[in-house]
Structure 1
């Protein structure tokens, strides 16, 4: 797949009079790929992925509540949500909690 930046470089090379073979050699691509991209008017847009739900999603409100109550220990909260049916790992929890923790300056 040709990246968008490469698309514009290919078009510019062609405008400068380079042949498809020369462009292919310069870019390290196959001639058929270069020809295909020269026939296009705009670069292809890449499909965006739909965000997948996290295993932590059903427990985020509970975690925020516990943190507001003063519990900043991820291990304790992990054990509490695990008892409530959480099946993920503690790393996801720690990553979620990190920006929610208060920042202390020394």
Structure 2
């Protein structure tokens, strides 16, 4: 699979799709910022740090808008100055190209915020 994530838009998920295996995930993960990792539950996770709660909440709202556009919704945990984002395809019980595509879009949001 030779896919450039930054050029991907929303990706449809079919119940007939299969989860990506570790070999397929590695080159996709390598295209994301270093904050992303795959945990033991086979979920794509990232932590974003902020100077206060309001900034974290503002970024969460932007992530929510992007998630709606992708029709793919992460689990998010917000606390003071911190937002944790967890992506996986619930219907498939694992990782799909759509998870990596949305993670790349979230990275773009972060990069825009930090400029």
TM-score range, shorter chain: under 0.3
Q: TM-score, normalised by structure 2?
A: 0.24
More helix by share: 1
Bigger relative contact order (CA 8 A; separation at least 6): 2
More strand by share: 2
| Structure of larger gyration radius | 1
Q: TM-score, normalised by structure 1?
A: 0.26
